[in-house]
Amino acid sequence: MTLRIITPPAVEPVTVAEVMAWSRIDASNQEPAPGAITVALAGLGAGNVDSGAHRYLATFVTADGETQAGSASAAVTTTGGDGQVSLSGIPIGGALVTARKLYRMAAGGSTYLLLTTLANNTATTYADNIADASLGAGAPSVNTTSDPMLSMLITAARRLAERRTGRAFITQTWEQVLDAFPTENWFRLGMMPIQSMTSLQYYDSSYSLQTVDSGNYVLDADTQPGWLLLALNASWPTAGDVANSVIARFVAGYGTSGSDVPSDIRMWISAQVAAAYNNPSGLMDGRAADLPFIDAALDSYRVSWL
């Protein structure tokens, strides 16, 4: 029997922010918000920037998220005769920054709205000739960037917990591959908890892929691990004499968000990440910490045959 993941989870059971809180990791592990931009009238005559006073600010963007709004610039006042603004001294971020976003306050407004995204970490100038009506979403107030190591450790800890328990935490699609149909009227599915059966397929003697009618089998998703059972008066088809000839595809997981995952599993993952992050050279045995209740958090989710 071979198990292979087809569609990985879209999110992790715990967020970076939750792990940071658990580990007492402070904001020094986030990309700091940028400083102020220098602004001035472009001196190019009429333009699209609405007449009035405007201020600007920037944010840094990394693979994990975006910083909160940076320091605001001095005000610059445009008129009908000079409606373009020159931005200079746009801050450059650290090595993890992949882009910067520029925000502008509309004339007479109090909220910073998205002006443009600089898809690099090198440009320091920008010419603004955009009307207020074309401005976008508001500037963020929360820093969602993080040390990329935390994201890597969360994924690694989740995979370790899934292997130890035989469970998929966040909704994901799996395939179980067999060399033949069993001689019994059932076979066990190797990942829990099962949400639904997608398909049961097999290669026939001509090595053509066939699909078993869903009326010929019944999914027992309540038992853990789950079982696929022959329906009354049905029989397994004859698969070709080739390796990996039977493919059962199913969806497993507690749900689509971290809140769907049991709290003690989430606690175990957080503890693993905290231990690895704070002591990267001392996690060789895969244990989260020298705390029995942490180490035992997965025990009730293990199945003896795994």
Q: Where do the domains of the chain lie?
A: 31-134
- Work out the average pLDDT over 290-296: 64
Per-residue pLDDT band at 281 (split at 50, 70, 90): low
- Looking at residue 305, what is its pLDDT? 54
pLDDT digits (tens, 9 = 90+) for 54-83: 999 999 999 888 999 999 999 999 998 889
Cβ contact 252:196 at 8 Å: no
pLDDT digits (tens, 9 = 90+) for 200-242: 999 999 999 999 999 999 999 998 889 999 999 999 999 999 8
**Segment (H or E) for 8:** none
- Work out the average pLDDT over 4-10: 94
Per-residue pLDDT band at 284 (split at 50, 70, 90): very low
Cβ contact 249:4 at 8 Å: no
pLDDT digits (tens, 9 = 90+) for 112-166: 999 999 999 999 999 999 999 999 999 999 888 877 778 888 999 999 999 999 9
Handedness of CA 168, 301, 260, 283 (dihedral sign): negative
Single out the residue of 176, 248, 231, 273 nearest to residue 294, CA to CA: 273
**Omega before residue 225 within 30° of 0, cis:** yes
282 pLDDT more than 90: no
Residue type, 209: L
Cβ contact 62:144 at 8 Å: no
Question: Which tokens belong to 226?
Answer: 């789950």
Look at the pTM and tell me if it is higher than 0.75. Answer: no
Single out the residue of 32, 43, 38 nearest to residue 57, CA to CA: 38
CA 251 to chain centre: 19
Spatial separation of the C-alpha atoms in residues 92 and 60, rounded to whole Å: 8
- Looking at residue 288, what is its pLDDT? 46
Cβ contact 102:56 at 8 Å: yes
User: β-strand 186-188 against 112-118: which pairing, if any?
Assistant: unpaired
Single out the residue of 120, 43, 58 nearest to residue 91, CA to CA: 58
Cβ contact 111:28 at 8 Å: no
